Structure 1
């Protein structure tokens, strides 16, 4: 791994960072940058602010947390230590053996029962007492999707985490897992009717669950596809299209910037330990899933249809290090979603997620981003559509900030910051043509590439300038020539770094295992250095549509 990426030098023409000797302060969330002047007839800027959060976090109640992550500890790390504004707990929808504090239960219970008995009451008690009263906390679950991998499911109902909402989670677990009916109240089982599946191992069973969500909670539920390429062949492009077509307001996000980054194989993508040409599709690239990291890959194929499918970054936190094992960073420590919206509760959080004004980042490479595309009469930001005419000049504006330092430690868990200032080496403005929806049953429905995807312009410190608000800013003009989308990615790496990048495209991440580094402490530090040497952010797209 290249050590040069861990230098503490400034970027974009700024001075080198001065080492800081004090402990890290709680990070603050940047305010929305002042928008560029717009004509009087342009719609008002939406109300809201930038917030940070994590949608995929585990506690003791999951069966693989190695018994070191109580609910209170996880919330403290997320909301106090690392200053997130919102956090979604997502323990496995499996049999649970522990309460919030790790006490062993007399018998295993369905997680929906544990959520109702332990997790939700504790969250409510903390907030009622004034702890985290200004934060948004929600209890969801991670479902073992039949025939696929994992998906985060949120069942908010009209009153998130109410008795009715918890009953809905219990019904979902009864219907769409292999839990025995005897584990649920007899009266509920009688009311719910037969279980929805048999083997719980078919794509059809997954579709039946999505249909149930759509029929019962069309506006107050979501299903996020987690670490989609971690295991070979778990999702095909046509299956992703089918799920999104069935419920576009429920299945609209991909965890492209995966968690579990402290594992020897980033994200737990274990094909890195046995690299072959066939498993390149089940690898991470700069800590990012193949579907999102590949220029012109599956995410671009979906965007080429105009689908509003967003990329997110999560911690997938279970634990960081324990004995000889390592897993993932604490929520907010390494991965963050920056989401804009008027967020005050789980329902407004879901509404903001659907709008897609979001950028995802690892290692605090940036902590503020203003990305918009404008013509002479209107402007659109991430997740939005800009209507224009062929031949019109479009101005792309990119403004960003980076913090004075990130959370990198030379010694993992030491609490001693390395005082590393993250530095953006370059930002790619990526465009792809939007050619319309593919039709089920046609060859195009299985298309997993978008050949029109290209890097329109690569910006470096020679291009951006520091503006009056402290943002590094650059603008670029393109001519509207058809329906298309624009998106951004940025990194601290140069365009050609041995073992990391070739011609600006990331290479597959390598494994740092007990075979390569037998000593546990040395291995943890090597994994950590690998991760902080290879930082990225990805911004959701802006769509440009030709006026009819």
Structure 2
């Protein structure tokens, strides 16, 4: 029997940057394939990620499951610092990875040795290190890029990817961006020739300079991207990210500011899951609240998409009683699945921009085919279906789950949590698309979409499973108004104490005083979700 339920909303965004000349993931000329990965994590080159195990090589080893525990550094790590090793989950290794150290001075090189350089100089070291590792035969067939996390001026963070014609132009773009828009990089990191070349800096901590930076990227590197990270983290503070800030950045450069970090990193944080108080089942409020900020943007028809990231700095810093806990290694807990056509950095950027992707925690699913079909046309996530008013629209969802995920205890504490994976239910969410609001409109500051609803909830009684293991369900509706449709799914039933309400909505993740690492880990692995990007339906007549 199908259960009808309702839900609530949220907010989140991210940033990134990418390196040319990476090893191709697939041969030229292929139509494309699903790839898993992420674009927001840190190495020892970020000052707040200074563990011995966070060297560039170790991060890549973990993401691509090429860990040699006998290697220098790994062998000296405490067990709780290491990424989870045991998993039968298919696709456990990432296919692509974008490193994103802070756009701040580079105090360590990729091997952890102390230094004092501008970020762009440290980034060149990181690129050289990646190439050196690839030359030994490591990470064959993987797409590896390097980028940065920007302290947006007057706001919080974003992942920035400067996409250029070649590596030399990319480095020049990063250097210029750092000069103009990094509040952490001092004047003394640049030469008199640099000052003469670039002129006035615009790194005062104001939102206006963030908007200026987005325009600069559009004018100089138009294939780049700025993806907002942990959007609700500064709620109530001076750097609070408001919907009008997102709208303005997207208005300036919709091809660059096209998404956000909806499933947060730092899920092991003992200062609130994802280092934020507005987290619901591991998702930022911007994503989690039905009818909230994301739905408000989608209701304008904005192609603005959600992603997941680890934001990895370290896992467990000390011991089970007095330690600090940050997040999961890349690929250990969360991941994006993105459909990529081609074999270059531009192709990956375009793939993220297309919206044909979904994000997941705890490997709840590893395959999702979400389509909408009218009389003559069928489209997928990120696309628009054009139909006549009154025409039937058939929505089809096909998904798979692995048998197990990466769960294991950190300190061996007894627990009822397991690594078995199963979807309890999937919600189909829809809202009306009424058109983009102008900056002069009173609705420009409105962070809600009152038309958004959970229009159908599906359980295992509603889907069939074929011989290949695909679970399939369909839903048919008559086209009435311009709309979008999106999915969320979870392993949880309705009314689970501390996790879901009587309608199945995720509850706010509690911030507990001095929680143990195992209690955080167990909670996270018992509370799994996936989110799709939307399909738009444009009704003619």
- Place the TM-score, normalised by the shorter chain, in its bin: 0.7 to 0.9
Partner-residue secondary structure (3-state), 1:50: strand
Are positions 1:257 and 2:263 aligned together? yes
Are positions 1:342 and 2:341 aligned together? yes
Distance in 1 of aligned mates of 2:485 and 2:62: 35
Are positions 1:139 and 2:146 aligned together? yes
Are positions 1:531 and 2:530 aligned together? no
**In the alignment, is the contact (CA less than 8 A) between 2:266 and 2:275 conserved in 1?**
no
Distance in 1 of aligned mates of 2:382 and 2:111: 39
Q: CA deviation at 1:182?
A: 2.2
Residue 175 of structure 2: aligned partner: 170
Q: CA deviation at 1:322?
A: 1.2
Residue 61 of structure 1: aligned partner: 45
**In the alignment, is the contact (CA less than 8 A) between 2:31 and 2:342 conserved in 1?**
no
**In the alignment, is the contact (CA less than 8 A) between 1:53 and 1:336 conserved in 2?**
yes
Partner-residue secondary structure (3-state), 1:332: coil
Distance in 1 of aligned mates of 2:137 and 2:42: 23
Q: CA deviation at 1:410?
A: 2.3
Residue 370 of structure 1: aligned partner: 369
Residue 5 of structure 1: aligned partner: none
Distance in 2 of aligned mates of 1:425 and 1:479: 27
Are positions 1:287 and 2:270 aligned together? no
Residue 38 of structure 1: aligned partner: none
Deviations 1:225-268 (A, max 9, x none): 00000111411111110000100010001101010001124444
**In the alignment, is the contact (CA less than 8 A) between 1:487 and 1:539 conserved in 2?**
yes
Are positions 1:188 and 2:194 aligned together? yes
Are positions 1:127 and 2:134 aligned together? yes
Partner-residue secondary structure (3-state), 2:254: coil
Q: CA deviation at 1:412?
A: 5.2
Residue 439 of structure 1: aligned partner: 438
Residue 274 of structure 1: aligned partner: none
Q: CA deviation at 1:419?
A: 6.0
Q: How does 1:382-401 map to 2 (within 5 A)?
A: 382-401=381-400
Residue 293 of structure 2: aligned partner: 298
Partner-residue secondary structure (3-state), 1:62: coil
Residue 318 of structure 1: aligned partner: 313
Residue 19 of structure 1: aligned partner: none
Residue 245 of structure 2: aligned partner: 239
Residue 42 of structure 1: aligned partner: none
**In the alignment, is the contact (CA less than 8 A) between 1:432 and 1:450 conserved in 2?**
yes
Partner-residue secondary structure (3-state), 2:188: helix
Distance in 2 of aligned mates of 1:463 and 1:388: 26
Partner-residue secondary structure (3-state), 1:263: coil
Instruction: Report the TM-score when normalising by structure 2.
Output: 0.85
Partner-residue secondary structure (3-state), 2:534: strand
Partner-residue secondary structure (3-state), 2:404: coil
**Structure 1 counterpart of 2:114, from 96, 104, 113:** 104
Name the CA shift for 1:136/1:210 in 2 (closer, same or farther; >3 Å). same
Distance in 2 of aligned mates of 1:261 and 1:533: 13
Name the CA shift for 1:85/1:343 in 2 (closer, same or farther; >3 Å). farther
Residue 88 of structure 1: aligned partner: 98
Residue 453 of structure 1: aligned partner: 452
RMSD (Å), alpha carbons: 1.9
**In the alignment, is the contact (CA less than 8 A) between 2:31 and 2:341 conserved in 1?**
yes
Distance in 1 of aligned mates of 2:511 and 2:284: 15
Partner-residue secondary structure (3-state), 1:322: coil
Name the CA shift for 1:337/1:266 in 2 (closer, same or farther; >3 Å). farther
Q: CA deviation at 1:447?
A: 1.3
Distance in 1 of aligned mates of 2:361 and 2:165: 33
Name the CA shift for 1:419/1:498 in 2 (closer, same or farther; >3 Å). closer
Q: CA deviation at 1:418?
A: 7.8
Number of equivalenced pairs: 477
Q: CA deviation at 1:151?
A: 0.6
Residue 75 of structure 1: aligned partner: 60
Instruction: Report the TM-score when normalising by structure 1.
Output: 0.84
**In the alignment, is the contact (CA less than 8 A) between 2:280 and 2:509 conserved in 1?**
yes
Name the CA shift for 1:268/1:464 in 2 (closer, same or farther; >3 Å). closer
**In the alignment, is the contact (CA less than 8 A) between 1:137 and 1:346 conserved in 2?**
no
Distance in 1 of aligned mates of 2:476 and 2:360: 26
Residue 425 of structure 2: aligned partner: 426
Residue 512 of structure 2: aligned partner: 512
Residue 230 of structure 2: aligned partner: 227
**Structure 2 counterpart of 1:153, from 160, 169, 172:** 160
Name the CA shift for 1:175/1:412 in 2 (closer, same or farther; >3 Å). farther
Distance in 2 of aligned mates of 1:136 and 1:477: 39
Q: How does 1:402-421 map to 2 (within 5 A)?
A: 402-411=401-410, 420-421=419-420
Q: CA deviation at 1:190?
A: 1.5
Residue 16 of structure 1: aligned partner: none
**In the alignment, is the contact (CA less than 8 A) between 2:264 and 2:274 conserved in 1?**
no
**Structure 2 gap segments, 5+ residues each:** 1-25, 67-91
Q: CA deviation at 1:309?
A: 0.4
Q: CA deviation at 1:170?
A: 1.1
| Range with bigger deviation, 346-355 or 183-192 | 183-192
Residue 24 of structure 1: aligned partner: none
Deviations 1:359-378 (A, max 9, x none): 00000000000110101211
Question: Using CA pairs below 8 Å that are at least 6 residues apart, which structure has the higher relative contact order?
Answer: 2
Q: CA deviation at 1:442?
A: 1.2
Residue 203 of structure 1: aligned partner: 207
Distance in 2 of aligned mates of 1:540 and 1:290: 16
Q: CA deviation at 1:547?
A: 2.3
Distance in 2 of aligned mates of 1:412 and 1:204: 47
Distance in 2 of aligned mates of 1:269 and 1:127: 34
**Structure 1 gap segments, 5+ residues each:** 1-30, 32-45, 272-282, 518-522
**In the alignment, is the contact (CA less than 8 A) between 1:512 and 1:526 conserved in 2?**
no
Distance in 1 of aligned mates of 2:467 and 2:253: 44
Deviations 1:22-72 (A, max 9, x none): xxxxxxxxx9xxxxxxxxxxxxxx921111001101000001013230000
